[in-house]
C-alpha cells in the first residue's frame, strides 16, 4: 500500500470523525454559526490527508506541535488562541517556531522535536476574516488538513477554537471541545451575602458576560442538549424555583408548578424534559417536567432528600443523591423512577453526581473529615478514583468529549470571611492538568454541548 | 424588602456575635430575661433582642435540641402575643455539604422549626419557609464555631 492510500487514522476513529465532521461541516464546505469552511488545495503533491498518525504516545506524553504566528493581521491572535487551547488541555506541547513560506522545510521542524506543524494566514478585509489553516505531519512531511474559514472578524477567537478542535481531532482521533462555552454563576461581594449572577463565557474564560442582574440569589445553570436554553434556579421574589432562559431571545420562564422549593434541574438527553427536585416536608422528591405539555411526573417519594438527578447519556437511567440510608450517598434508578440502587460506599458523604457524556463514568463530590474531593466511578460503583481535593471542590461538569471536568473550587474563609475565594477550575479525568479558568469569582460551571 | 430584612439580620448577627462569642454558637442574643429598651414590640428587633430569632442544629441533622425547643417556645408565645405578625423561617447550612443537598437540608430545618411552632399553636398560614442552603452564612469563618452558627433556622418578621 502506498502511503497516500493508507488510512489517516483507525477505522473506528474515522467513523467518529465522519460523524463529527458531517454534523459540524469542518472538513467539507459548510456553514456553522456564520462561519464558512472549505477545503484548501494541498501544497504538496498527492492528496491532502495522506499521512498516518500514530497516537500511541499521545496519552502519556504531550504531542509536540509547532504553532508559529500565522501570517496576516489576525495571524498572531489566531495562533495564540490555538496554542493556549492545545497547551492547556495537557495533551499537546506547543512549540514556538517560524512560519514556513509555502512548503515547510520539515527537517527544521523535526530538529525542534515537533510531531506536527501549523501554518497559514488570517487576514481581515472590511470586517470579514479569512483564515487559511494547514496541519502538517512533520515526520512524514505531509499535509494532514487544509481548510479555509471565512467569517466576521468578530468571530476570530471562535475560528481559532474550531481550528484547535480540528487539530485535536486529527491528532487524537476524538472530538475536541474548544469551541464550547461554560455557563456559570458569577460571584462578588462579601462572604455572608454574595451577589450572584447568571453568566456565560467561552471555555477558556474569554467573552464572559452576565445573563442576569444580581438582585436575587441565582444558582446551578444547566445547558439544554441543543445549547439554546439554560435551566437554572433563582430566588426571584423570595421564591426559590427553577426557571428556563432562552439564550437567543433572553426570554425567561418559570418551569413547573411546585409547592416547595424546586431546584437541581438537568435536561433529559433528548431535550424534551427537565428532571429536578422539589422539597416536600422533611425531604425532596425527584420529578420530570415535560417542556411541551408542562406535565410533571414524580419519580421518587422516599420521604428523604432525593436531589441532584442526572440522566445517563442514553436517557435510560438517572443517578441522584439521597440520604434515604441516613447520610447522603449516590443512587441509580431507572429513568421511570424504579429500582433505586446505592452505588457509593466509601467513607464520608457523596453528592452532586454527573454522568459522563461517554456513559462510562459518574463524577461526584465526596466529603470526608471536613474536606472535599472530586472523583469518578463506574456507574456500578466500582473503580472509584479521586481526581482532586480541597477545602471545597464541587459541582463537576463534563466537557463534551468527557475527558475534562470543570468544577468549583473554594478556599476556606478566616475571620470575617477573609481569604475566601470561589472560582472555576478544570481537571483532566486522569487527575492531571488542573488549572483555574481566569474569570474571577465564580461557581456552578455548566459545560455546553459541542454545538454551544 | 429582602435587602432591608437581611440588613436588620446582619445587625442582629453582629450584635450577637459580640456578646456571645464564648458560647460555642449554641445561642446568639437570646437573652429573653433582659428586656431591651427602645425596640418596637412585635417587631423584628423585638424578636431578635427579646425572644431569640434562631435555633441551631447538629451537623447534617434537623433534630430540635432542648435549647432549640426553648427558643421556639418563646417564639410561639411571642407570636401569640402579636397575632398580626407573620414570619418567615429560613433554614441554613454550614458549607460542609454540596450546594444542592444543602438547599434541601436547609428547608428540612426550616420545616422542623415551622412544624414545632405549628404544634405550639401558631397558625400555619402565618409561617412561610425558605432555605438558603449554604449561601447565606451568618458566621463568615470556616471553623467549627462558625459552622455551628451557620446550621440554623432563622425566624424573621415579614
pLDDT of residue A33: 61
Q: Rounded mean pLDDT of B63-71?
A: 96
pLDDT tier at B37, thresholds 50, 70, 90? low
Q: Rounded mean pLDDT of A6-12?
A: 33
Q: pLDDT tens digit string along A178-235?
A: 999 999 999 999 999 999 999 999 999 999 999 999 999 999 999 999 999 999 999 9
> Within this chain, do residues A378 and A403 fall inside the same structural domain, yes or no?
yes
Q: pLDDT tens digit string along A82-123?
A: 999 999 999 999 998 999 988 999 999 999 999 999 999 999
* Chain B residues within 8 A of A391 when measuring between CB atoms: 142
ipTM exceeding cut-off 0.90 for this assembly: no
Cα angle A56, A59, A64; round to 5: 85
* Chain A residues within 8 A of B130 when measuring between CB atoms: 235, 238, 240, 261
Q: Do A323 and B100 touch (CB under 8 A)?
A: no
pLDDT of residue A9: 32
Q: Do B60 and A281 touch (CB under 8 A)?
A: no
Q: pLDDT tens digit string along A312-329?
A: 999 999 999 999 999 999
Decide: residue A345, CB within 10 A, 0-12 exposed, 13-18 middle, 19+ buried: exposed
| Number of domains into which chain A is organized | 2
Q: Do B98 and A193 touch (CB under 8 A)?
A: no
> Within this chain, do residues A141 and A250 fall inside the same structural domain, yes or no?
no
For residue A143, tell me if it sits in a domain.
yes
* Chain B residues within 8 A of A283 when measuring between CB atoms: 104, 108
What is each CA distance from A441 to A191, A409, A422, A436, B34, in whole angstroms?
11, 10, 5, 11, 43
> Within this chain, do residues A333 and A391 fall inside the same structural domain, yes or no?
yes
> Within this chain, do residues A232 and A341 fall inside the same structural domain, yes or no?
yes
pLDDT of residue A415: 85
pLDDT of residue A370: 86
For residue A452, tell me if it sits in a domain.
no
* Chain B residues within 8 A of A444 when measuring between CB atoms: 99
Decide: residue B10, CB within 10 A, 0-12 exposed, 13-18 middle, 19+ buried: middle
Contact B124, B118 (CB under 8 A): yes
Q: How many CB atoms lie within 10 A of CB A380?
A: 10
What is each CA distance from B39 to A105, B17, B49, B52, in whole angstroms?
85, 19, 8, 14
* Chain B residues within 8 A of A219 when measuring between CB atoms: 99, 135
What is each CA distance from B35 to B23, B73, B84, B158, in whole angstroms?
20, 17, 21, 22
Domain containing A31 — which CATH number? 3.40.50.10070
Q: pLDDT tens digit string along A233-270?
A: 999 999 999 999 999 999 999 999 899 999 999 999 99
Rounded-to-integer distance, Cα B115 and Cα B133, Å: 19
Q: pLDDT tens digit string along A272-324?
A: 999 999 999 899 999 999 999 999 999 999 999 999 999 999 999 999 999 99
Q: Residue A45 pLDDT > 90, yes or no? A: no
> Within this chain, do residues A42 and A161 fall inside the same structural domain, yes or no?
yes
Q: How many CB atoms lie within 10 A of CB A300?
A: 24
> Within this chain, do residues A204 and A66 fall inside the same structural domain, yes or no?
no
B58 and A CB contact within 8 Å: no
Phi, psi values for residue A53, rounded to 5°? -105, 125
User: What is the reported pTM?
Assistant: 0.87
Print the domain residue range for A38.
Answer: 3-172
Q: Above pLDDT 90, what percent of chain A?
A: 83
Q: CA torsion sign, A79 to A84 to A86 to A91? A: positive
Q: Do B10 and A261 touch (CB under 8 A)?
A: no
pLDDT of residue B62: 87
Q: Residue B70 pLDDT > 80, yes or no? A: yes
DSSP B4: H
Q: Residue B56 pLDDT > 60, yes or no? A: yes
Helix-strand-coil split of chain A, %, nearest 5: 15, 40, 45
Number of CB pairs, chain A paired with chain B, less than 8 A apart: 114
Q: Do B97 and A351 touch (CB under 8 A)?
A: yes
> Within this chain, do residues A272 and A127 fall inside the same structural domain, yes or no?
no
What is each CA distance from A273 to A291, A323, A329, A447, B58, in whole angstroms?
5, 25, 25, 19, 37
> Within this chain, do residues A199 and A267 fall inside the same structural domain, yes or no?
yes
Nearest CA in chain B to A240: B130
- The CATH topology of domain B2-31+39-157 is 60s Ribosomal Protein L30; Chain: A; (3.30.1330)
> Within this chain, do residues A160 and A27 fall inside the same structural domain, yes or no?
yes
What residue spans of chain B are helical by DSSP H? 2-20, 44-46, 66-81, 99-119, 144-150
Of A125, A152, A172, the residue at which a domain comes to its end is A172
> Within this chain, do residues A187 and A291 fall inside the same structural domain, yes or no?
yes
> Within this chain, do residues A265 and A367 fall inside the same structural domain, yes or no?
yes
pLDDT of residue A15: 38
Of A172, A191, A215, the residue at which a domain comes to its end is A172
Residue with cell 456552578: A444
Residue with cell 466529603: A367
Task: Specify the long-range contacts of residues A94-99, CB closer than 8 Å, at least 24 apart.
Answer: A94/A65, A94/A66, A94/A67, A95/A64, A95/A65, A95/A66, A95/A67, A96/A66, A96/A67, A96/A68, A97/A66, A97/A67, A97/A68, A98/A68, A99/A68, A99/A69, A99/A70, A99/A71, A99/A75
Q: Residue B122 pLDDT > 50, yes or no? A: yes
Of B97, B104, B135, the CB nearest to A283: B104
For residue A71, tell me if it sits in a domain.
yes
pLDDT of residue A61: 86
Q: How many CB atoms lie within 10 A of CB A378?
A: 13
Q: Residue B72 pLDDT > 80, yes or no? A: yes
* Chain B residues within 8 A of A395 when measuring between CB atoms: 98-99
Q: CA torsion sign, B151 to B153 to B156 to B158? A: positive
> Within this chain, do residues A194 and A113 fall inside the same structural domain, yes or no?
no
Of B99, B101, B135, the CB nearest to A328: B101
Q: Do A349 and B60 touch (CB under 8 A)?
A: yes
Q: Do A220 and B138 touch (CB under 8 A)?
A: no
Q: Do B10 and A192 touch (CB under 8 A)?
A: yes
Domain containing A387 — which CATH number? 2.120.10.30
Rounded-to-integer distance, Cα B57 and Cα B67, Å: 10
Of A117, A152, A172, the residue at which a domain comes to its end is A172
Nearest CA in chain B to A263: B100
For residue A437, tell me if it sits in a domain.
yes
Mean pLDDT of all residues belonging to chain B: 83
Mean pLDDT of all residues belonging to chain A: 89
Q: Residue B96 pLDDT > 70, yes or no? A: yes
Amino acid at each position: 500500500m502506498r502511503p497516500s492510500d493508507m488510512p489517516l487514522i483507525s477505522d473506528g476513529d474515522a467513523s467518529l470523525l465522519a460523524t463529527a465532521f458531517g454534523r459540524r461541516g469542518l472538513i467539507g464546505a459548510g456553514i456553522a454559526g456564520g462561519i464558512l469552511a472549505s477545503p484548501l488545495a494541498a501544497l504538496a503533491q498527492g492528496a491532502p490527508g495522506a499521512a498516518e498518525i500514530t497516537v500511541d504516545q499521545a496519552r502519556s506524553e504531550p504531542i509536540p506541535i509547532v504553532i508559529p504566528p500565522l501570517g496576516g493581521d489576525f495571524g498572531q491572535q489566531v495562533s495564540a488562541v490555538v496554542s493556549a487551547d492545545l497547551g492547556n488541555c495537557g495533551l499537546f506541547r506547543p512549540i514556538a517556531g517560524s512560519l514556513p513560506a509555502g512548503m515547510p522545510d520539515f527537517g527544521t521542524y523535526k530538529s525542534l522535536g515537533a510531531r506536527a506543524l501549523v501554518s497559514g494566514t488570517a487576514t481581515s478585509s472590511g470586517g470579514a476574516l479569512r483564515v487559511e489553516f494547514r496541519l502538517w505531519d512533520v515526520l512524514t512531511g505531509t499535509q494532514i488538513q487544509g481548510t479555509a474559514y471565512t467569517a466576521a472578524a468578530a468571530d476570530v477567537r471562535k475560528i481559532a477554537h474550531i481550528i484547535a478542535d480540528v487539530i485535536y481531532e486529527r491528532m487524537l482521533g476524538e472530538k475536541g471541545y474548544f469551541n464550547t462555552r461554560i455557563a456559570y454563576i458569577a460571584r462578588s461581594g462579601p462572604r455572608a451575602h454574595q451577589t450572584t449572577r447568571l453568566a456565560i463565557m467561552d471555555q477558556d474564560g474569554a467573552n464572559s458576560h452576565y445573563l442576569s442582574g444580581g438582585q436575587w440569589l441565582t444558582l446551578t445553570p444547566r445547558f439544554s442538549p441543543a445549547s439554546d436554553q439554560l435551566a437554572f434556579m433563582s430566588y426571584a421574589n423570595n421564591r426559590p424555583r427553577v426557571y428556563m432562559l432562552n439564550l437567543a431571545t433572553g426570554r425567561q420562564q418559570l418551569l413547573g408548578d411546585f409547592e416547595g422549593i424546586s431546584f437541581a434541574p438537568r435536561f433529559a438527553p433528548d431535550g424534551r424534559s427537565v428532571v429536578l427536585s422539589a422539597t416536600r416536608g422533611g425531604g425532596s422528591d425527584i420529578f420530570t417536567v415535560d417542556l411541551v405539555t408542562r406535565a410533571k411526573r414524580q419519580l421518587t417519594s422516599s420521604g428523604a432528600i432525593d436531589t441532584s438527578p442526572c440522566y445517563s447519556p442514553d436517557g435510560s437511567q438517572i443517578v441522584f443523591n439521597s440520604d434515604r440510608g441516613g447520610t447522603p450517598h449516590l443512587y441509580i434508578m431507572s429513568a421511570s423512577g424504579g429500582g433505586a440502587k446505592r452505588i457509593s460506599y466509601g467513607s464520608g458523604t457523596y453528592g452532586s453526581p454527573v454522568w459522563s457524556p461517554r456513559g462510562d463514568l459518574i463524577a461526584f463530590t465526596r466529603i470526608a473529615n471536613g474536606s472535599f474531593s472530586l472523583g469518578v466511578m463506574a456507574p456500578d460503583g466500582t473503580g472509584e478514583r479521586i481526581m482532586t481535593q480541597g477545602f471545597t471542590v464541587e459541582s463537576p461538569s463534563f466537557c463534551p468529549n468527557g475527558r475534562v471536568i470543570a468544577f468549583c473550587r473554594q478556599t476556606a474563609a478566616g475571620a470575617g470571611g477573609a481569604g475566601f475565594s470561589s472560582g472555576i477550575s478544570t481537571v483532566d479525568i486522569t487527575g492531571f492538568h488542573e488549572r483555574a479558568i481566569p474569570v474571577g469569582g465564580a461557581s456552578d460551571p455548566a459545560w455546553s454541548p459541542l454545538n454551544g | 424588602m429582602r435587602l432591608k430584612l437581611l440588613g436588620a439580620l446582619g445587625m442582629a448577627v453582629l450584635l450577637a456575635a459580640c456578646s456571645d462569642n464564648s458560647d460555642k454558637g449554641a445561642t446568639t442574643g437570646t437573652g429573653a430575661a433582659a428586656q431591651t429598651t427602645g425596640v418596637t414590640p412585635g417587631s423584628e428587633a423585638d424578636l431578635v433582642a427579646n425572644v431569640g430569632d434562631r435555633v441551631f442544629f447538629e451537623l447534617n441533622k434537623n433534630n430540635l435540641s432542648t435549647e432549640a425547643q426553648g427558643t421556639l417556645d418563646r417564639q410561639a408565645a411571642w407570636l401569640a402575643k402579636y397575632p398580626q405578625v407573620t414570619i418567615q423561617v429560613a433554614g441554613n447550612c454550614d458549607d460542609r455539604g454540596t450546594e444542592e443537598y444543602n438547599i434541601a437540608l436547609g428547608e428540612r430545618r426550616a420545616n422542623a422549626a415551622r412544624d414545632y411552632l405549628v404544634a405550639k399553636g401558631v397558625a400555619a398560614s402565618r409561617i412561610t419557609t425558605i432555605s438558603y442552603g449554604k449561601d447565606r452564612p451568618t458566621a463568615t469563618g470556616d471553623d467549627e464555631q462558625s459552622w455551628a452558627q451557620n446550621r440554623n433556622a432563622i425566624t424573621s418578621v415579614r
